[in-house]
Amino acid sequence: KAGVTQTPRYLIKTRGQQVTLSCSPISGHRSVSWYQQTPGQGLQFLFEYFSETQRNKGNFPGRFSGRQFSNSRSEMNVSTLELGDSALYLCASSLGSGLEKTLQYFGAGTRLSVL
């Protein structure tokens, strides 16, 4: 069974631009969560999607948004990029319900650099 796939692996953008990251979950997984990882703040939860609906949201500004498609694939968008958005963005998938929701499997991440 294929793991969680994130594309692209690396991105370089300039301030003010926008970016879209993609995540394909493990087959059969309906929940996709997004995290931002930086040396200073560690792993911070962005949001979680389940069955095309945002189910949970972390404490990030509205510039960060996401969506989930009917095949459970998810995209995350960041608009008006700031230097502080430079980070490793991790996607995690899970079955999405009950106890299994806590069992998350992570992708390799997308490294975003904002210049």
Structure tokens at 69: 């498609």
Site map 56..95 versus another protein, x via CB under 8 A: x---------------------------------x-x---
Quote the least distance from Cβ 101 to another protein, whole Å: 4
Instruction: Out of 24, 36, 68, 104, name the contact with another protein by CB under 8 A.
Output: 104
Place of tokens 């989930």: 68
Quote the least distance from Cβ 43 to another protein, whole Å: 4
Q: How far apart are CA 23 and CA 66, in angstroms?
A: 11
Enclosing H/E stretch for 115: none
Give yes or no for residue 101 binding another protein (CB under 8 A): yes
Place of tokens 């998810």: 74
Give yes or no for residue 2 binding another protein (CB under 8 A): no
Q: Tell whether omega for the bond before 25 is within 30 degrees of 0, i.e. cis.
A: no
Q: How far apart are CA 66 and CA 79, in angstroms?
A: 11
Give yes or no for residue 98 binding another protein (CB under 8 A): yes
Give yes or no for residue 30 binding another protein (CB under 8 A): no
Of the candidate spans 13-21, 63-71, 76-84, 101-109, the one that interacts with another protein by CB under 8 A turns out to be: 101-109
Q: How far apart are CA 34 and CA 105, in angstroms?
A: 11
